[in-house]
Amino acid sequence: MNGHTRYFGLGLGLMLACAGAVSAATHTTAPPGVLQEVGFDQKLDAQVPLDLTFRDEAGREVRLGDFFGERPVVLALVYYKCPMLCNMVLNGQLKAMRVTKYDAGREYTALTVSFDPKETPQLAAEKKANYVRKYGRPGAEDAWRFLTGDEASIRALTQAVGFRYTFDEKSQQYAHASGIVVLTPKGRVARYLYGVEYSARDLQFSIMEASQEKIGSPVEQLLLYCFHYDPLTGKYGVVVMNVVKLGGVLTVVALASFIGIMLYRDRQRRLRGDDGASAPAAAVKSGS
């Protein structure tokens, strides 16, 4: 068996195995009907209603416009009792905020709003205390705000930025997508960052553009969807399976790259005549 055949056979077997796993995950985890109502519609340059009223962490009534005017706003729409994805969104945002050289309160404002009208300022205060402590930069107490609101205000805000979610009666949880939105100081939608991991460079660039009232271009959506873990069936929800499928695809790509590199190196060795096949003949010649 020559090098080409060996590498090709190994690569083909591994790729088929991974492709089979990805295909199986895809066919066994089709999004349930409730997730047809969930997503993130890109509404670039849309104006959010600045006259909406919410409650801050202390229970005080505030206008959405109170957080705009001077700096861009990094908006995260979550609910504080979310069992999984919302924490991943906030953790990803926190990680990017800690890496970027921009400071919340100086270059931008971080605004987290619950889309569950039943949640209270007390929950917001508890969530805020945790993330402000982890962020650890001066002025974070005033720079990263956590709000709650009534159904009307929440719906108006989520519709303005294209955030679609729904409540699943069976699991008593919200189904929703993941991502954060960067808004200009005037409250216009400038850019979307999807998923649960956000590049600090992308976040900083988005803030910089938004500060100049520049609107970004549409970006490819790579969304995770929050759904539940069912202990009765032992199956994870869509968020976990989407990660599994994505990991499978990336594995296939990595393997294909590896096989390509190995084939290229093998071909280069043969062209140089140092593939090892001529070594015995050379040894016999030198021995004679």
Bridge partner list, 63: 53
Token pair listed for 233: 């069936």
**Amino acid letter, residue 6:** R
Instruction: Indicate the average pLDDT of the chain.
Output: 80
Residue with tokens 């849309």: 46
- The H or E element spanning position 110 is strand 109-114
- What whole-number distance in Å separates Cα of residue 203 and Cα of residue 207? 6
pLDDT in tens, 165-204: 999 888 788 989 899 999 999 999 999 999 889 999 999 9
**At 81, is the pLDDT very low, low, confident or very high (cuts 50, 70, 90)?**
very high
User: Stretch 14-35: mean pLDDT, rounded?
Assistant: 45
Sheet containing 225-226: which strands, arranged edge to edge?
A: 39-40, 163-168, 173-177, 225-226
- Cα-Cα-Cα-Cα dihedral sign, residues 62, 68, 71, 76: positive
Give Rg (Cα) of the chain.
Answer: 25
Count each helix (H run) and each strand (E run) in the chain, helices first: 8, 11
pTM of this prediction? 0.69
- Which superfamily, per CATH, for 33-229? Glutaredoxin (3.40.30.10)
Q: 246 Cβ partners below 8 Å, 6+ apart?
A: 222
> Chain-centre distance of CA 140, in angstroms?
23
Backbone angles phi, psi at 6, to 5 degrees: -60, -50
Q: What is the pLDDT of residue 39?
A: 87
Bridge partner list, 112: 76, 146
Q: 10 Cβ partners below 8 Å, 6+ apart?
A: 259
Count Cβ neighbours within 10 Å for each residue of 75-89 and write b for 16 or more, e otherwise.
Answer: bbbbbbebebbbbbb
Residue with tokens 């043969």: 270
Token pair listed for 195: 């998923």
- What whole-number distance in Å separates Cα of residue 239 and Cα of residue 227? 6
Q: 241 Cβ partners below 8 Å, 6+ apart?
A: 25, 29
Domain ranges of the chain: 3-29+242-273, 33-229
pLDDT in tens, 120-157: 999 999 999 999 999 999 999 999 999 999 999 999 99
pLDDT above 70 as % of the chain: 70
